[in-house]
């Protein structure tokens, strides 16, 4: 399987390189500022390591299940798998790796989903603050404030409903009974229970969630700054 994934990755890379103007890219890279570029790479790597730490904080909500370096190993394995494959296969791989430690696929999946959800919520929150601040400072409306608050409220309501086990179970039960073979029902039910069981654990330990969110916020600022360093390295001027 790994050999096939590597081959697919090489084929995709070959197609991309074939369609690129390599001479133009080479001319850009020759003039790159190596200092800014190296610092940007260091920040990106540091951000990835901190993301692994954020995930570890969530996983170890009640007891030490995952060591820091094992979390880093699983995170980077999933990251590289995401590069070689479409979609978020790397996130699924992380859950499968974690199952070795927890013996509970549902709980492992929920840690990965919550980890990604924290990133999305933080990014949306930063965007919300940026839009409101831009409108207040410069007097130019990017998006109607009423629409922005309305979308925010809908997203919050949707997120809260998704986290309701009984609500989701009510809608999934007819499909579960109709389409899932009898021999798979018990294992899927255990996965479903484990998935929502983790959210119950994290609600009982809000400091864990707050700590993971704080790490996530810091990694976003690192990502923004590293992107700015890469822009400087390429000699692109940005007017503020």
Angular region, 205: left φ>0, alpha ψ -120 to 50, beta rest: beta
Q: What is the dihedral of CA 205, 114, 214, 223, to 10 degrees?
A: 170
Instruction: Tell me 33's DSSP state.
Output: -
Q: How far is CA 104 from CA 58, 94, 190, 192, in A?
A: 15, 13, 8, 10
The residue written with tokens 């039960």 in the block is: 173
- Between CA 115 and CA 141 the distance in angstroms is 32
CB-based burial label for 189 (10 Å; 0-12, 13-18, 19+): middle
Residue pLDDT tens, the chain, 240 long? 555 655 666 677 677 666 776 677 677 677 788 899 999 999 999 999 999 999 999 999 988 889 999 999 999 988 887 776 665 677 888 998 999 888 888 889 999 999 999 999 999 999 889 888 888 888 888 888 888 888 888 988 988 888 888 888 888 888 888 888 888 888 888 888 888 888 888 988 999 999 999 999 999 999 999 999 999 988 877 665
Provide the pLDDT for residue 8: 66
pLDDT at 69: 94
Residue 90 CA to residue 117 CA, distance in Å, equals 15
Give the per-residue pLDDT at 54: 97
Q: How far is CA 69 from the centre of its chain?
A: 19
Helix (H, G, I), strand (E, B) or coil at 149: helix
Task: List Cβ neighbours of 18 (8 Å cut-off, separation of 6 or more).
Answer: none
pLDDT at 4: 60
> How high is the pLDDT of residue 10?
67
pLDDT at 56: 96
pLDDT of residue 234: 84
Q: What is the SS3 assignment for 212?
A: helix
The structure tokens listed for 65 are: 């299940």
């Amino acid at each position: 399987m790994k050999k096939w994934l590597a081959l697919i990755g090489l084929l995709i890379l070959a197609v991309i390189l074939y369609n690129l103007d390599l001479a133009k890219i080479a001319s850009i890279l020759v003039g790159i500022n190596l200092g800014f570029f190296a610092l940007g790479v260091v920040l990106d790597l540091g951000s990835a390591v901190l993301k692994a730490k954020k995930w570890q904080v969530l996983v170890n909500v009640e007891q030490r299940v995952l060591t820091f370096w094992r979390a880093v190993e699983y995170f980077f394995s999933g990251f590289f798998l995401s590069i070689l494959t479409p979609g978020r296969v790397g996130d699924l791989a992380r859950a499968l790796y974690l199952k070795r430690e927890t013996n509970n696929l549902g709980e492992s999946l929920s840690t990965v989903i919550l980890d990604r959800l924290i990133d999305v919520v933080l990014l949306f929150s930063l965007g919300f603050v940026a839009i409101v601040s831009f409108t207040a400072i410069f007097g130019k409306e990017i998006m109607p404030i009423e629409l922005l608050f309305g979308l925010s409220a809908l997203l919050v309501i949707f997120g809260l409903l998704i986290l309701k086990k009984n609500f989701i179970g009510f809608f999934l039960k007819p499909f579960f009974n109709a389409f899932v073979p009898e021999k798979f029902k018990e294992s899927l039910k255990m996965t479903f229970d484990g998935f929502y069981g983790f959210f119950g654990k994290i609600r009982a330990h809000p400091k864990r969630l707050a700590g993971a969110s704080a790490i996530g916020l810091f990694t976003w600022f690192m990502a923004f700054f590293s992107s700015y360093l890469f822009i400087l390295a390429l000699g692109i001027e940005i007017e503020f």
